[in-house]
Amino acid sequence: MALRILATTSQPSLVSLPWHVPLDEWDDRVTVSLPRGLSRHIVRFVRLSRDVYAVKETREAIAWREYRLLRDLRRIHAPAVEPVGVVTGRKARGGDELEACLVTKQLSASMPYRELLSRGVRPDTMPRLVDALVVLITKLHLAGFFWGDCSFSNTLFRRSAGDFAAYLVDAETGELHPELSDGQRMYDLDTTRGNLFGELLDLQAGGFLGDELDPHDVVDGVLERYATLWRELTSPEDFATDEMWRIEQRIARLNDLGFDVDELDIVTDWDGASVRIQPRVVDAGHHQRVLQGLTGLDVEENQARRLLNDLNAFTATLGLQQEDPAQVAHRWLTEIFEPIAAMAPPGRRTPLEAAEAFHEILEHRWYLSERAGHEVDLFETARDYFAHQPTASETATVAAVEALPDSAAPEPSPTRTSAPGTGAPGTSATVPS
């Protein structure tokens, strides 16, 4: 059988990869060094022109299944890695058949959880990772996706205004349904509980968890937070007809959580004295969409929320409330955001990096202003912030890859660890002593 590459994009250089060589023998002329999570299959990263891809060697049926599911997830805008193609019909030079490969786009600026925790991050990191994971499972469940193998290892994390945003990376066991039953959701949560507990014990054994974190509590916290969020997003609400403002209030609350309401089912009782509303929430990323509509910036949800707050403050300070919001947003973009982003070192100028830096600069201004006893200018703050950037930040791996020439970097051992305590990000790390 001939080598066959089915790909979503025209990336002709995919053909040039050494498909006749088993993946674990690909050397550093082809692969790039990036941290990976734990996995059963062999996964390698390659760089083709400007983009980095993840290649996973697996059985053909699995590769196809995962490819299709990832395409489905993309269609419904679920946070997951982007499928690029499936490579089949691989044969070694000696004629032996080789396993198929699934190719996905490397999720830029993302990190596996082990990488995050091995950098000696702050003690409040675990709850923020858990929150991001809960939001991810909830979004997937709302979209009718049964994951079947939710774990930290099958998730990637991106920084998002001091918090994290989680993405699904491994869809092998997933199923997409029109809607999930309560039983399916509970079953998925049971698997999640087991997987996370195992991973947390593993982290504890490796000394990465810290004494104050009990794996039981963390796992219980996941289930509690999921239940609360699910209730808030989906449960019906009853009130009297003279309290119609509560409809708007509920929508505002859902928007605040980052979700948009697709449909609102409003039912009044027979005498018209009370109303029941049942929101149908589908789309997460409310602030992302608002910001993108106003400025074209495509960033993470929490980053978007932060930038919108700053845009609102800009509008209020200059008394522009009556002006066209799109024009005000354009002024804010060109007079504030872009000039600040341009002050960043080259590795931090992508929209995601710039948005994260902007968030940290706002935090830094708060600190500087408090110390100075008056509001410090934003540009002055940014100069101070960039001048005191830690040398090794959580963005270092990403920046390093951006700076790499095509296909040129040593491959690390599968579980990469760095010295704890290096490069913890955040405002505190940027404050001059």
Ligand X SMILES: Nc1ncnc2c1ncn2[C@@H]1O[C@H](COP(=O)(O)OP(=O)(O)O)[C@@H](O)[C@H]1O
> Judged by CB, which is closer to ligand X: 52, or 297?
52
Q: How far is the CB of 373 from Mg ion (least distance, A)?
A: 52
Position 107 contacts ligand X (CB under 6 A): yes
Q: How many CB atoms lie within 10 A of CB 223?
A: 16
Instruction: Name which of 81 and 98 has its Cβ closer to ligand X.
Output: 81
Closest among 165, 166, 152 to 195, alpha carbons compared: 152
Check residue 382 and give left, alpha or beta (phi > 0: left; psi -120 to 50: alpha).
Answer: alpha
In terms of Cα–Cα distance, which of 34, 253, 74, 257 is closest to 176? 74
CB of 88 closer than 8 Å to CB of 4: yes
Question: Hey, what are 101's tokens?
Answer: 């490969």
Among the residue ranges 128-136, 165-173, 329-337, 362-370, the one whose residues contact ligand X (CB under 6 A): 165-173
Q: Of the candidates 17, 30, 46, 54, which one interacts with ligand X according to CB under 6 A?
A: 54
Task: List CB contacts of 238: < 8 A, sequence separation 6 or more.
Answer: 274, 275, 276
Q: In the bound complex, what is the minimum distance in angstroms from residue 24's beta carbon to Mg ion?
A: 17
Residue 271 is given by DSSP the state T
Residue closest to 55 by CA, chosen among 78, 92, 25: 25
88 binds, among Mg ion, ligand X, none (CB under 5 to 8 A by kind): none
Among 41, 250, 253, 289, binds ligand X (CB under 6 A): 41
What does the alpha-carbon distance between residue 32 and residue 397 come to, in Å, rounded to a whole number? 11
- Least Cβ distance, residue 120 to Mg ion (angstroms): 25
Q: Which stretch binds ligand X (CB under 6 A): 149-157, 227-235, 315-323, 401-409?
A: 149-157
Counting contacts by CB under 6 A, is residue 39 touching ligand X?
A: yes
What tokens does 345 get? Answer: 């070192």
59 binds ligand X (CB under 6 A): no
Q: Is the dihedral of CA 69, 74, 77, 81 positive or negative?
A: positive
What are φ and ψ of residue 149, in 5° steps?
Answer: -155, 50
Size of the site for ligand X (CB under 6 A): 21
Helices (H), 112-164: 113-117, 125-142
346: burial class by Cβ within 10 Å (0-12, 13-18, 19+)? exposed
The 3-state secondary structure of 59-86, one letter per residue: CHHHHHHHHHHHHHHHHCCCCECEEEEE
Judged by CB under 5 A, the residue of 154, 192, 315, 427 near Mg ion is: 154
Give the interface segment with Mg ion, choosing from 26-34, 150-158, 184-192, 391-399 (CB under 5 A).
Answer: 150-158
In the range 285-324, which residues lie near ligand X by CB under 6 A? none
| Site for ligand X contains 36 (CB under 6 A) | yes
Q: Which stretch binds Mg ion (CB under 5 A): 11-19, 165-173, 277-285, 369-377?
A: 165-173
Residue 407 DSSP label: T
Which one, 62 or 264, has the nearer CB to ligand X?
62
226-255 residues near Mg ion, rule: CB under 5 A: none
Binding to ligand X in span 170-209, by CB under 6 A: 170, 172
66 binds Mg ion (CB under 5 A): no
Q: How far is the CB of 22 from ligand X (least distance, A)?
A: 15
Task: Select the binding partner of residue 104 from Mg ion, ligand X, none (C-beta < 5 to 8 A, by kind).
Answer: ligand X
Q: Which does 110 bind (CB under 5 to 8 A by kind): ligand X, Mg ion, none?
A: ligand X
57 binds, among Mg ion, ligand X, none (CB under 5 to 8 A by kind): none
Residue 58 as a binder of Mg ion (CB under 5 A): the answer is: no
216-224: long-range contacts, CB 8 A cutoff, minimum separation 24: 218/126, 218/130, 219/193, 221/127, 221/130, 222/130, 222/133, 222/134, 222/192, 222/193, 222/196, 223/189, 223/193
- Name the one range near ligand X by CB under 6 A: 169-177, 250-258, 337-345, 406-414: 169-177
Task: Choose from ligand X, Mg ion, none: what does 174 bind? Cβ within 5-8 Å by kind.
Answer: none
DSSP 306-347: HHHHHHHHHHHHTT-TTS-HHHHHHHHIIIIIHHHHHTS-GG
Site for ligand X contains 84 (CB under 6 A): no
| Residue 334 CB, nearest approach to ligand X (Å) | 33
DSSP H helices, 343-425, are 351-372, 378-387, 396-403
Least Cβ distance, residue 299 to ligand X (angstroms): 18
The yes or no reply on residue 63 touching ligand X (CB under 6 A) is no
Residue 276 binding: pick among ligand X, Mg ion, none (C-beta 5-8 Å cut-off by kind):
none
Interacting residues of 91 by C-beta distance below 8 A, sequence separation 6+? 1, 3, 20, 97, 98
Chain residues in the site for Mg ion (CB under 5 A): 39, 154, 170
**Residues of the shown chain interacting with ligand X in the complex, contacts defined by CB under 6 A:** 36-37, 39-41, 43, 54, 56, 81, 104-107, 110, 112, 153-154, 156, 169-170, 172
